[in-house]
Amino acid sequence: MTEKFVIAHMYPDLMNLYGDRGNLLCLQKRIRGYGYDCEIRQLSLNDLIDFPNIDMIFMGGGSDREQGLVYNDLLTKVENLLQEIENGLPALCICGAYQLLGQYYKAVDGTMLKGLGFFDLYTEGRPGRLIGNILIESEIDGQKTSVVGFENHGGRTYLCDKKLKPFGTVVRGHGNNGEDYSEGLWYKNLIGTYLHGPLLPKNPRIADFFIKAMAARRGLPITNILDDTIENFAHQQVKNKILPNIT
């Protein structure tokens, strides 16, 4: 029987901005390409997360209102979730979901939303949204790699704990706060990021980071290499757009 990976898509009805769902389709297609099956399990408010049978968590971005609803629901799941992340559960949290992992999110109108407090970071909304295509430099398995995406956020995120590792360094765009060139957060197998877009189809190496982490946790091999000609072309096209003078 084909082994199956299960990815929990958290709050697809609430946290679903800018085609974030495309990340799941990408993971599913690539996992099948590697010879395994993949189920996307949609979980929303009040649903329980069956952690022993989940291989990865995905949560997309949402508006301030939706972030509030999700926060209240996540509070009921918080202890197990943190424990699983500590144990290396792969997780991709985009924009509004990423902000929820910190100490708090203060909206531009002053509304205060406490965060889950998993990490010593906070987010404050300011006038003027940080919008546009973004290029960052990241490192996977000791190899530098460019990552492209699209960002649109009012929140500015600051990593207080200097031991926290960003997802990457901003080459063009705004990133966490438009000031310190950091973008996102990388902790064990969790990536929090402002890159919408969707991120994974245009950055197959990041998709494979998650897939390899899932496979390693199950002791399953990834042996074949996928043909990423189209994905790499898409990546390069965005890069050309952001850095028009560099080929």
The binding site for ligand GLN (CB under 6 A) comprises 17, 61-64, 67, 95-96, 125, 152-155
Torsion of CA 208, 213, 217, 219, to 10 degrees: 40
Q: Tell me whether strands 37-43 and 4-10 are parallel, antiparallel or unpaired.
A: parallel
Question: Which residue lies nearer to ligand GLN by CB, 31 or 99?
Answer: 99
**174 carries an active-site annotation:** no
> Smallest gap, in angstroms, from Cβ of residue 98 to ligand GLN?
8
Within 10 angstroms of residue 18's Cβ, the number of other Cβ atoms is 18
Number of H helices, E strands in the chain: 7, 12
Question: Which residue lies nearer to ligand GLN by CB, 61 or 198?
Answer: 61
Q: Nearest to ligand GLN by Cβ — which residue?
A: 61
3-state secondary structure of 72: helix
> Smallest gap, in angstroms, from Cβ of residue 184 to ligand GLN?
13
**95 carries an active-site annotation:** yes
Question: Which residue lies nearer to ligand GLN by CB, 21 or 217?
Answer: 21
> Smallest gap, in angstroms, from Cβ of residue 193 to ligand GLN?
11
The residue assigned the tokens 């972030």 is: 67
Is residue 202 within 8 Å of residue 231, measured between CB atoms?
A: yes
Q: Which of 9, 174, 196, 235 is catalytic?
A: 196
Q: Which of 95, 153, 174, 235 is catalytic?
A: 95
Of 97, 148, 149, the closest CA to residue 123 belongs to: 97
> Smallest gap, in angstroms, from Cβ of residue 196 to ligand GLN?
7
Question: Which residue lies nearer to ligand GLN by CB, 6 or 116?
Answer: 116
3-state secondary structure of 186: strand
> Smallest gap, in angstroms, from Cβ of residue 28 to ligand GLN?
22
Question: Which residue lies nearer to ligand GLN by CB, 9 or 205?
Answer: 9
Give CA–CA dist 141/163, Å, rounded: 19
Task: Please state, in angstroms and as integers, the Cα–Cα distance from residue 219 to each residue in 54, 89, 129, 222, following that order.
Answer: 15, 14, 43, 10
Tell me which residues are annotated as active site.
95, 196
